[in-house]
Amino acid sequence: MDNAKAPGNTIVLAFKEDTALTEMMRLRVSSLQRSGQKRQDGERLLLSHEAVYRLDFPTQELNFSRWYFSLKAYGRVTITGISQHWTPDLTNLMTRQLLEPIGTFWRNANDPEDSPLKWLEADMQEFGERIAELAKVRKVMYFLFAFKDAAEAANLSCSVEFTAD
C-alpha cells in the first residue's frame, strides 16, 4: 500500500518509521539523564514506547478519504501529528507543536484476534482531514506513534487514503 495508486485519483500513503529521527530523540533523552539536566520548559521528550513516523506527500492537493490500519494481536496505538513549525534537525520537539485530535485505535486483550479494531471514528475523521490540510503546505509530516497495552510496531500496518484534486 506504500504510495499505491488505486484506480482514478486515489493515493494511499503508508506511515513509515523514521528510525534516524527516533534515535536522535532517544539520544536527547539519554543525554539529559546522563548529565542530570532537565528538559527545556515545554519540551516534549520521546517516551520509551513511542517512535517517530512520517508521511511523504507526492502532491499537495489532497482530500482525506479513509484510514487503513491493522494490528496483529491486541493493544492500543495512538498517533499524534506534529505541526509544520518543527524542524527536527534544528530544534527540540515542544508540546505546543503537537496537534489535536490524536488518532487512536485498539483491540482489547479479551477480544478475539480476528475481531475488528476499535477506533474513535469522529476523531480519526477529523485527524485525517487535518493531515490533508497540512499536506497543502508540506512535502513531509511527522507523527508520534505510541504503542501501549502490548501493541508493537512489528504488528502494525497503517496508511491513509486521499483523493487528489
**Domain boundaries in the chain?**
10-164
Contact partners, residue 88, CB within 8 Å, separation at least 6: 21, 24, 52, 142
Predicted local confidence at residue 3, as pLDDT: 44
**pTM higher than 0.85:** yes
C-alpha span between 160 and 120 (Å, rounded): 15
Q: Say if strands 10-14 and 4-5 run parallel, antiparallel, or are unpaired.
A: antiparallel
Q: Residues 118-134: pLDDT tens digits? A: 999 999 999 999 999 99
What CATH number belongs to 10-164? 2.60.120.390
Provide the pLDDT confidence category of residue 165 given band limits of 50, 70 and 90.
confident
Over residues 58-77, the mean pLDDT reads 94
